[in-house]
Amino acid sequence: MRIDLLMNKLCLVKTRSIAKKACDNNAVRVNGKTAKASLEIKPNDIIEYDLFGYNTELKIIKIPIGNVAKKDAPEYYEISRRELVIKD
C-alpha cells in the first residue's frame, strides 16, 4: 500500500492530500530514507514523520485491507517515539 494512502487509512493524517504534501516536502521518512507518496509500505517498515508540531516514529505491524475504523487503527502500528518539536 502507498505511504500516503496508508497514513490516511490509519488516521495518522486527516486526508490523503495532507500525507502527499508531507511527502513532497520531505517530512516523511521510511527506514531512514525520504519517502515519496507512491512508496509501497510493507510490515516491519519504520515510518518517521514531522507533522503538526510533532516528530513521530512508528513501526507498521500489518497492512490494512480496505477501510479501518479510527478505534481499530492502532492495531496496525506501534508508536516507538513521539516528541514535541520546539522551534526557536
pLDDT tens, residue by residue, 15-50: 999 999 999 999 999 999 999 999 999 999 999 999
Alpha-carbon gap, residue 58 to 35, rounded angstroms: 14
> What is the pLDDT, as a whole number, of residue 60?
96
Instruction: Assign 72 a pLDDT band (cuts: 50, 70, 90).
Output: very high
> Where do the domains of the chain lie?
3-84
How do residues 45-64 score in pLDDT, each as one tens digit? Answer: 999 999 988 999 999 999 99
The pLDDT value recorded for residue 52 is 87
The domain made up of 3-84 is a member of CATH 3.40.50.300: no
Q: How many CA atoms lie within 13 A of 71 on its CB side?
A: 0
